[in-house]
Amino acid sequence: MKDKMYAVVKEKPKHGAVYKEVEVPEIGPEQILIKVESTSICGTDHHIYKWNKWAQNNIKPPQIMGHEVAGEVVKVGSRVKKVDIGDFVSSETHIPCGHCFQCQTGQEHICSNMRILGVHQDGVFAEYAVLEDVDVWKTDPSIPKDFASIQEPLGNAIDTILPGNVAGKDVLITGAGPVGLISVAVAKTFGAANILVSEPNEYRRELSKKMGADHVVNPIENNLLDVVFDIFGKKGVDFTAEMSGNPTAIKNGIKAVTAGGIVSLLGLPDNEVSLDLTNDIIFKNIKVIGVTGRKMFSTWHIASNLLKGNRIDLSPVITHKFDLKDFEKGMKLMEQGNCGKIILKP
Ligand code: NAD
Ligand code: ZN
């Protein structure tokens, strides 16, 4: 095996990143080295690239970027039992501590001492990457490599949509970024009767239709609530999945839900959002659920099963593929928003 590799490195605490040669990393006893076969860009990577406030507070350059990945195991640490050399794997990105209250009570995905791949340690935008034994997920080799890499955001979508019990229901999805788009397919797969997607970007509204949306609306040009009541009647929708983080979308997404309905919140607003708790949540007796990460590993089990059996078609969401060295083309598209999921190939 060679001892040098190419990687996308966040080298300096400023805008940008570089594609450069670095050492192939060593592994510890509870780590795994993979040959990266597919990686995908997440909004978080774009934030790190842009060097926004969150990145400035969380990233310590130099560090290899990226966390969504699929690849082949080439080395295993002495204490690794879950996988063998040659296995096809993906990885959870939340690295749990294993000893806090949440970890001890089977909720590793919300560990209080959480570390994140590609955020708190070197990531996967490279020819080889180190994964943690606790995070590695053996993946059926029949799953196409690019879909295997997006199991991680698929898991976000699954944990957002499933609490909505969407079978036969009227569903509103606010925000059709990559995770919102994947959520459309998840809601369809789990039997949603009607899906309305609210998204300002025309490219993403069109993509939503390809993912299975029955209706799309531009919330900047239209009053979302009028559109909801027009399509679904005064009762509103049974379930809203909020995938934008936009305060107006959050408020209207909650108002759009029928009394007794359910709202899942995955989108992350930058600041506090004020809500009419009395009228929009309490008197309506609705359930509001915060969603983060993916359950380890019951969500992964579902994600893999959906992909393995071709029960979900994610092909429209993969809109671009670039060589890893051309990662900046992907970052530019992320900036404009005219994209779904972008794959990078080492
Ligand atoms: P993204 O930023 O690519 O997508 C957000 C979309 O919302 C964009 O397409 C944008 O045009 C749209 N939008 C903006 N204003 C809107 C409005 N008023 N109404 C409807 N849509 C509007 O993000 P993504 O990668 O798809 O992730 C979705 C959200 O989920 C982000 O806020 C992200 O930070 C968050 N997220 C949370 C978790 C978690 O674990 N909780 C995990 C992944 C992503
Ligand atoms: Zn923990």
Please compute the mean of the pLDDT values over residues 19-32 and round it to a whole number: 98
- What whole-number distance in Å separates Cα of residue 101 and Cα of residue 226? 45
pLDDT in tens, 276-321: 999 999 999 999 999 999 999 999 999 999 999 899 999 999 999 9
Contact 96, 109 (CB under 8 A): yes
Q: Is 227 helix (H, G, I), strand (E, B) or coil?
A: helix
Ligand 1 environment, Cβ below 6 A: 43, 156, 174-180, 198-201, 204, 219, 243-246, 248-249, 266-268, 291-293, 337
pLDDT digits (tens, 9 = 90+) for 147-202: 999 999 999 999 999 999 999 999 999 999 999 999 999 999 999 999 999 999 99
φ, ψ of residue 232 in degrees (nearest 5): -105, 0
**Model pLDDT, residue 120:** 97
For the cut 90, the answer to whether the pLDDT of residue 330 exceeds it is: yes
Counting every residue written for the chain, the total comes to 346
Q: Hey, is 34 helix, strand or coil?
A: strand
Query: Please, which pLDDT band fits residue 1 given cuts at 50, 70 and 90?
Result: confident
Q: How far is the CA of 232 from the centre of ligand 1 (A)?
A: 24
Of all protein residues, the one whose alpha carbon is nearest to atom 25 of ligand 1 is 43
The confidence score (pLDDT) of residue 194 equals 98
pLDDT tens sequence across 115-132: 999 999 999 999 999 999
Asked if 207 and 176 touch (Cβ cutoff 8 Å), the reply is yes
| CB-neighbour burial class of residue 21 (10 A; exposed 0-12, middle 13-18, buried 19+) | exposed
Give, using CA atoms, the residue closest to atom 31 of ligand 1: 267
For residue 89, give the H/E element and its range. strand 88-91
Q: Whose CA is nearest to atom 8 of ligand 1?
A: 177
Q: Whose CA is nearest to atom 23 of ligand 1?
A: 177
Q: How far, in Å, from the CA of 243 to the mean position of ligand 1?
A: 5
Is residue 163 exposed (0-12), middle (13-18) or buried (19+ Cβ within 10 Å)? middle
Backbone φ and ψ of 173, nearest 5°: -115, 120
Range list of H helices, the chain: 43-50, 53-58, 101-104, 145-149, 151-161, 178-189, 202-211, 224-232, 247-255, 298-308, 327-336
Is 44 a catalytic site residue?
A: yes
Res 140: pLDDT: 97
The Cα–Cα gap between 54 and 236 comes to: 36
Q: In angstroms, how far apart are the furthest CA atoms of the chain? A: 64
**Residue 125 near residue 324, CB atoms below 8 Å:** yes
Distance CA 44, CA 118 (A): 9
Among candidates 120, 121, 100, which has minimal Cα distance to 112?
Answer: 100
Annotated active-site residue 47? The verdict is yes
Q: What is the pLDDT of residues 66-75, one digit of tens each?
A: 999 999 999 9
d(CA 233, CA 224): 13
Whole-number Å distance between alpha carbons of 248 and 252: 6
262-282 burial, b at 16+ Cβ within 10 Å, e below that, comes to bbbbbbeeeeeeeeeeeebbe
198 alpha carbon – ligand 1 mean position (Å): 11
200-252 pLDDT tens trace:
999 999 999 999 999 999 999 999 999 999 999 999 999 999 999 999 999 99
| Contact indicator for 115, 135 with CB cutoff of 8 Å | no
What value does the mean pLDDT take over residues 27-53?
Answer: 98
Q: How far apart, in whole angstroms, are the C-alpha atoms of residue 132 and residue 135? A: 5
Mean pLDDT across the chain, nearest whole number? 98
Closest CA to 149 of 46, 24, 41: 41
Counting ligand 1 atoms within 8 A of each CB, the residue from 48, 268, 318 with the most, and so the one to mutate, is 268
The pLDDT value recorded for residue 309 is: 87
The active-site residue out of 47, 67, 94, 109 is 47
